[in-house]
Homo-oligomer: A and B are copies of this chain.
Amino acid sequence: MAQREIQSLDPFFRPRSVAVIGASNDPLKAGRQITYNLQAMGFLGPIYPVNPREQEILGLRCYPSIQAIPDPVELVVLIIPSAAIHATMAEIEARVRARGDIKAIICAAAGFAEMGTEEGRERQRVLVETSRRLGIRVLGPNCVGVIDTRGRIDTTFVETLLPVEHKTRAGGISFLSQSGALAVSILMWGTSRPVPLAMNKLITVGNMGDVDLLEMLEYLEHDPHTRVIGMYLEGYPRARELMTTLGRITRKKPVVVLKVGRTEQGATAAHSHTGSLAGADRIYDAAFRQHGVIRVGSLEELMDTLQAFDQLPLPQGNRVFLLTQAGGPGIYCTDILSSYSELRFASLSPAAREELARLLPPMAAVCRPEGYADITASADKHQHARSVELLLAEPTVDGLLLITVPPMFLPPLELAAELKAACQRAGQEGQQAGRAVQKPFLPVIMAGQWVHEARALLEEAGIPTFETPDRAARALANLVRYAEFQSLRRAGDIGAGV
């Protein structure tokens, strides 16, 4: 895609002004929620609600029509009955002919081609063809809109019931979805974590009447704030082109994909949903592997892996160490780690092994088996922190997992503060690309509400935490997988004289 075309997507994420056609004062209407979300996100430009029956919406002056807005409008959000599309597009056309200002439309309204009716298809044609004539890009129809935490834009009608500061936080994760509900769920789970998932952009493409998945993917490729791309995929008609693009992107940043339609039944359901073709899943799977795309098996793995890529450095190798304060959860996690052929258990140097045994309680099981230490429930916060620090500095370890189930005599918040300090000493905190000594550290502090604040303390310091041992193990395996792909590709490039 040419640079010019990519730039045509900018107004979706950093428009100078937004009009909401179909804004409302009714708390059960999406038109009110969209206006509210734009305000709540702290959008810096003017917001123009449009509704002929209202004077004011959420303290903003409301306009009877798009024509009546005196100042320039760059982005329009449409949340109108689809039957009104002809009249609305006529007004938009009149305005643009006169003022040339509107550059992008997000059509959140449904009732278009997804209906499977001729009427629906015709309405979508009117929306898209009018826009194209006017040089306006259209996202949707039948989409949930976009969120951009840095552009301070939220055109979704998602109600999270949360104070604004807990809704999301700026990070490097961009999520691109062929399902609005799935994107919304990721957002809602994200906001229910100890600290919200660190999002950059959230994009739902709906019917892809104009802007499609591939264009948005290329947009994210060039977006400097996107450190990792997540994608929910049912299928894409130009699959070869998609794969070529993915192969190019994964040289620069990781792409994590939840691709559905693995099974025949699933593929049939996907075909009903977005018209994606059945039967191609094995081809997708092989292409993902070839192009270094990380394919995940569950929603949890998707979220955890995105967070790990956003916040952790890539491992330099595949040698992992598991430090556990609790036998059962540790053994459980060992089974999961062992099931990944990509991973090896680290073999400590004799000096490190001795040092670790020295600083742990006498009953600790150190390196039985290799790459594993049960520090036992008698380990205090200092023993936790010192063993973490030792292993982060140990050259025979590429990635470190910690499992701990703090009992009542080890207050989780105090433990977290010690762990944070240990990471800081090891140069781990707020990990960014380009740090000198760093390796992924994945703590699992269990369980539930009892450790919520402790996890929040680490997460606020840029150290991701994980809900269960297996979730951390899967995220670490995906980091190793991508790191190995990158290093093999570099080796291949060198070998081919590139």
Query: Within the assembled complex, what's the spacing in Å between the Cα atoms of A160 and B405?
Result: 12
Q: Are B182 and A332 in contact (CB under 8 A)?
A: yes
Query: B residues within 8 A CB of A298?
Result: 468, 470
Binds B, one of A90-98, A129-137, A186-194, A308-316: A186-194
Among A192, A269, A448: residue with most chain B CB under 10 A:
A269
Nearest B residue to A338, CB-CB: B263
Give the number of chain A interface residues (Cβ < 8 Å): 85
Shortest beta-carbon distance from A444 to chain B in Å: 10
Q: Which residues, 268 to 297 on A, are CB-close (under 8 Å) to B? A: 268-270, 272-274
Q: Are B450 and A273 in contact (CB under 8 A)?
A: no
Q: Are B29 and A409 in contact (CB under 8 A)?
A: yes
A171 at the B interface (CB under 8 A)? no
Query: B residues within 8 A CB of A200?
Result: none
A106 at the B interface (CB under 8 A)? no
A331 at the B interface (CB under 8 A)? yes
Q: Are B468 and A299 in contact (CB under 8 A)?
A: yes
Q: Are B327 and A181 in contact (CB under 8 A)?
A: yes
A446 at the B interface (CB under 8 A)? yes
Binds B, one of A11-19, A368-376, A431-439, A487-495: A368-376
Chain A 326-366 per-residue mask, 1 if CB under 8 angstroms from chain B, else 0: 11111110110111000001000000000000000011010
Shortest beta-carbon distance from A465 to chain B in Å: 14
Q: Are A185 and B329 in contact (CB under 8 A)?
A: yes
Nearest B residue to A366, CB-CB: B272
Query: Within the assembled complex, what's the spacing in Å between the Cα atoms of A365 and B434?
Result: 50
Q: Are A335 and B260 in contact (CB under 8 A)?
A: yes
Query: B residues within 8 A CB of A365?
Result: 272-273
Q: Which residues, 426 to 455 on A, are CB-close (under 8 Å) to B? A: 446-451
Q: Are A405 and B185 in contact (CB under 8 A)?
A: yes
Q: Are B449 and A188 in contact (CB under 8 A)?
A: yes
A232 at the B interface (CB under 8 A)? yes
A390 at the B interface (CB under 8 A)? no
Q: Are B110 and A374 in contact (CB under 8 A)?
A: no
Shortest beta-carbon distance from A100 to chain B in Å: 34
Query: Within the assembled complex, what's the spacing in Å between the Cα atoms of A54 and B447?
Result: 33
Q: Are A405 and B181 in contact (CB under 8 A)?
A: yes
Nearest B residue to A470, CB-CB: B298
Q: Which residues, 107 to 138 on A, are CB-close (under 8 Å) to B? A: 110, 114-116
Q: How many copies does the complex hold?
A: 2
Shortest beta-carbon distance from A429 to chain B in Å: 27
Shortest beta-carbon distance from A265 to chain B in Å: 4
Query: B residues within 8 A CB of A362?
Result: 115
A408 at the B interface (CB under 8 A)? yes
Q: Are B449 and A161 in contact (CB under 8 A)?
A: yes
Q: Are A162 and B328 in contact (CB under 8 A)?
A: no
Q: Are B328 and A232 in contact (CB under 8 A)?
A: yes
A157 at the B interface (CB under 8 A)? yes
Query: Within the assembled complex, what's the spacing in Å between the Cα atoms of A327 and B447?
Result: 32
Among A234, A258, A260, A362: residue with most chain B CB under 10 A:
A260
Query: Within the assembled complex, what's the spacing in Å between the Cα atoms of A408 and B451?
Result: 30
Query: Within the assembled complex, what's the spacing in Å between the Cα atoms of A408 and B162?
Result: 13
A422 at the B interface (CB under 8 A)? no
User: A447: which of B180, B189, B407 is its contact (CB, 8 Å)?
Assistant: B189
A305 at the B interface (CB under 8 A)? no
User: A374: which of B188, B272, B448 is its contact (CB, 8 Å)?
Assistant: B272
Query: Within the assembled complex, what's the spacing in Å between the Cα atoms of A285 and B190?
Result: 36
A30 at the B interface (CB under 8 A)? yes
Q: Are B339 and A263 in contact (CB under 8 A)?
A: yes
Query: Can you list 10 residue pairs at the A/B interface with Cβ under 8 Å?
Result: A115-B362, A160-B449, A181-B377, A185-B326, A190-B448, A264-B338, A266-B332, A268-B368, A269-B331, A273-B330
Known: A178-B328, A263-B339. 10 other contacts (CB 8 A): A28-B411, A30-B409, A162-B449, A179-B331, A188-B448, A260-B331, A261-B335, A265-B335, A266-B335, A272-B365
Closest 5 CB pairs of A and B: A179-B328, A181-B326, A192-B448, A182-B328, A263-B338
